[in-house]
Structures are given as structure tokens and as C-alpha cells.
Amino acid sequence: MLNDKIINLGNLLLSLSDAVDLASNLISSHQQRTAYIAWQICRASDLPEETVKDVFIAGILHDIGAISVDERISMQNLEEIDYDGHCLRGELLLKRYHFFRKTSRIVRDHHKRWFEYEGEPETDITMSSQIIKIADYVERLIDRNMFVLRQKKAVIEKINSMSGTEFNPFLVERFNIISKIESFWLDVTSPRLYSQLFHDGPLKNIEICFTDLETISKLFRDIIDFKSPYTAAHTAGVSSTAGIIAHIFGLADSDILQLKIAGNFHDLGKLAIPNSILDKPEKLTHEEFDIIKCHTYYSYHIINSIKGLEEIAKWGAFHHERLNGKGYPFRIGEKDLSTYSRIIMVADIFTALTENRPYREGMKKKEIICILKDLSEKRHLDMKLAGLVTENFDQISDYVVNIENLIMEFYKSRFANLSHETFEALEPDY
């Protein structure tokens, strides 16, 4: 079951890239639009099928290293900022997983100028990075407030003026071929681009299994958590807590793996929430809390749009619902909350209580047990599961803290302290 190939890779990555681009209308679909342009340049260049797939995946994920919405908007507006940071962070996030090894090398140089390659041999990877560079720039040159066919001439002229310095002249020539076609521009700006890429794109026939899905979910776990130093290990904590609760509860291995995946995706919608709210040290205003409430709404709809993950969407995204129906944002009650959803609910609260927050220190065992008891008596949480956590507190806590420490160590020593170092891909076992 775990190795059955049942999830379409294109469906999965397109939806996950939506999550990263949801933060502002100014950047919505930027990565999908870039991937489309890059794909068309590949086609015009007669590149091998494997390379086209790699370029397409890199296009969909190329800006995942940009952690704040402000950084993304500055890039979208073609401002003169430091572009190195998000390339290196993107490489670092991707490189940890063998599945994305090639993607990481393409993403690393997606802003490198063509003249900077002088003397270097042209490889599949360098060519791929340069394709993303042109595609990304074309996408950002398009004014989202103007009809695209009215501006295509100006975009083409601008790209050609940078040929031989910023951009590889051979690839600019390929771009010139596709940019003559009106439908190319209409596709780039089409509101239906997602379904076009899903049904016709280079990943349309690639199916993956749950084991690969878990790896991809870990990448997104890191993208979500590393947005803020306060939550840098939160998702890892929730996922591992859910896993160990499920294990003690006696669920099958395949269920445990899927619960861990649900844990990794549970806060996916936080990618759309500004850091100014997530990191605010003071109490949130009503308006800010309303914005926070959107995160599980987004988590649900993004995961639910991936065929085969409909159940995982419910398990992960219902973690702020309550058995008494007073949670948010769907206000569903116990009859719609499965054991799996209830496990993530308990895991989320347990993890949050143990963590330091801008406004308080992480809590101790006695206090946490007291809160879990109170919440289950008020029918916020499942009493049996809260009791299971209390009874096995030390076992659960030791296991989870160990994993959180490994993630924190990586976050502090590598992610928050970037350098141009190179290192081997390392698949973390947490």
C-alpha cells in the first residue's frame, strides 16, 4: 500500500506551489507561470524529456527559499535586492532530500547571470538554471494590471536587450520563437493555468507513492516552520507527536505514516499568513486573529485539491476544530472528527504548549497535563487521546524533544546562518 503509486506528482507540486504563492495577489501563481514559460523554452530547445521534467519541477519550486512575503514582493517588483539569500536557502531546503537533489542545484543558480558562467562548461544543470532565470524574469516583467498582448512587445525587447550579458543568447533565441505566439502569452496569464499544467504538463504521467509523499511533505514542513524562529520545529513536533500517539494507540504502520504526512501539512496555510502576525509578541487583535483563522481553511483546500489526499486533508486541517463544535474555521463537531483528526488536534496542542512563544515560555509537564485534562473535560479534545498522552507523557515528550532539537540545530546552524558552503545531500530520519 505504501509503495503503490497513487498520487500524481504534478497535482501535488502544483498545489503545494500554490500554497507558497498564496501570500499576496502580487505573487499569486508566480512559480506556476515561471514553470510554464520554462517548459515552453525547453520545448523550443528540443531538450530531453528528463531535463524538461527537472526544469519544470525547479520552476514550480524555485522561490521556496524566500521566507517572507515582503522579500517575494520586492523580487516581483524587480527591486535591486540581495537575490543570493533565497537561492541558497532554496538549495539548502531541497538538498536535504535525495528526491530533490537535482532540483536543488538548478534552484541554486536561478539568478546567476550568463556572463558569470564564462569559462565554465555548459552542463544540463547550468542550462536548466538559465532557463529558469529567463522564465522568472519574463514573468516578473509582465504587468498584472495590463492586458498581456498589449505588453508582449516591450517584454520581448527588454529580454533581448539583456541577451549576452544577463541571459544565454541561445535561450533568448528560443524564447523569441515561442514569444511570437499569442497563445503563449494568454496561457501564462490564464486563470486556468493550473489545470493546463496538470493535464498537459511534463509531470502528467508521473505517479508517486506514500513513501515519496512523506519526503515531499518534510520539505514543506521545513518551508512552513522556517518562516519563524519561534515555530522552527513546530510542524516536526506535531508530526512526530501524532506518529507516536498513533503508535501507542495501536494503529497500523501505513496509518502512522499517513498521519505523519497529515502532521507535516497541517499548517500549510500558514504560508499565506504574514510574518508580522505570526511573530507578533503582543496579543493579537480581533482582525489579526481572523487572519490567523484562515490558515487551516487554506491547508484544507490545498491538500484536498490533491487527488488521493482527501482524507489526509481532513486529518491535518481540522486541528483547530473542537469536539463541541466551537473550533474554527469549519465549526464541525465530534461526528465529523475522526480518530485521525483527533490525534492531530491533541498533537498540535501538546506541541504548542511545550514550545517557547514570543509571549511566553514553553510549559512544564504538570501544567500541560492540567491543560489537557481541562480541554478534554470541556469537550475541546478527545478524552481518551488526551489521557493517552498524559499516561505516556515522558515517552512521548522524550521522543518529540529529540526530533525538535535536531531540527532546531539544523535551523540555527545552517538555515539561519547561510554560507556558500557545499555539502552532501542528507536525508534526515526525522
Q: Of 61-69, 186-194, 199-207, 362-370, which segment contacts Fe ion by CB under 5 A?
A: 61-69
CA 194 – CA 163 distance, rounded (Å): 30
Give the residue with the Cβ less far from Fe ion, 172 or 278.
278
Q: Of 12-20, 129-137, 193-201, 380-388, which segment contacts Fe ion by CB under 5 A?
A: 129-137
User: Which x/- pattern, by CB under 5 A, does the window 136-175 give for Fe ion?
Assistant: x---------------------------------------
Cis check: omega of the bond before 48, within 30 degrees of 0: no
Residue nearest Fe ion, Cβ-based: 136
Residue 90 beta carbon to Fe ion: minimum distance, rounded to whole angstroms: 8
Q: Of 56-64, 147-155, 274-282, 363-371, which segment contacts Fe ion by CB under 5 A?
A: 56-64
Residue 340 beta carbon to Fe ion: minimum distance, rounded to whole angstroms: 16
- Residues counted in the chain: 430
Closest by CA to 344, choosing from 335, 354, 352, is 352
- 91 touches Fe ion (CB under 5 A): no
Strand (E) or helix (H) holding 208: strand 207-208
**Exposed, middle or buried by CB within 10 Å (0-12, 13-18, 19+), for 98?**
exposed
Half-sphere exposure of 373 (CA within 13 A, CB side): 9
Q: Of 96-104, 252-260, 263-271, 331-339, which segment contacts Fe ion by CB under 5 A?
A: 263-271
Question: Given candidates 54, 187, 255, 267, which one binds Fe ion under the rule CB under 5 A?
Answer: 267
Residue 316 beta carbon to Fe ion: minimum distance, rounded to whole angstroms: 9
Give the residue with the Cβ less far from Fe ion, 108 or 152.
108
As given in the structure block, the three cell numbers for residue 239 are 508530526
Q: How many residues contact Fe ion, by CB under 5 A?
A: 3
Strand (E) or helix (H) holding 8: strand 7-8
Closest by CA to 268, choosing from 331, 333, 322, 219, is 219
Q: Of 48-56, 62-70, 286-294, 355-363, which segment contacts Fe ion by CB under 5 A?
A: 62-70
Residue 83 beta carbon to Fe ion: minimum distance, rounded to whole angstroms: 6
Q: Of 16-24, 135-143, 376-384, 400-408, which segment contacts Fe ion by CB under 5 A?
A: 135-143
- 63 touches Fe ion (CB under 5 A): yes
Residue 207 beta carbon to Fe ion: minimum distance, rounded to whole angstroms: 28
Give the residue with the Cβ less far from Fe ion, 222 or 267.
267
CA 32 – CA 38 distance, rounded (Å): 10
CA 177 – CA 170 distance, rounded (Å): 11
Residue 132 beta carbon to Fe ion: minimum distance, rounded to whole angstroms: 8
- Contact in structure between 262 and 340 (CB atoms under 8 Å): yes
- 225 touches Fe ion (CB under 5 A): no
Name the 3-class secondary structure at 163: strand
CB count in 10 Å sphere of residue 30: 21
Give the residue with the Cβ less far from Fe ion, 63 or 109.
63
Residue 185 beta carbon to Fe ion: minimum distance, rounded to whole angstroms: 18
Helix 286-304 with 9-21: angle, nearest 10 deg: 170
Residue 63 beta carbon to Fe ion: minimum distance, rounded to whole angstroms: 4
Give the residue with the Cβ less far from Fe ion, 267 or 321.
267
Give the residue with the Cβ less far from Fe ion, 139 or 187.
139
Distance of CA 328 to the CA centre of its chain: 23
Alpha helices in 229-359, H assignment, sequence order: 234-249, 253-265, 275-278, 286-304, 310-317, 339-354
CA 299 – CA 293 distance, rounded (Å): 11
Q: Which residues of this protein are in contact with Fe ion, per CB under 5 A?
A: 63, 136, 267
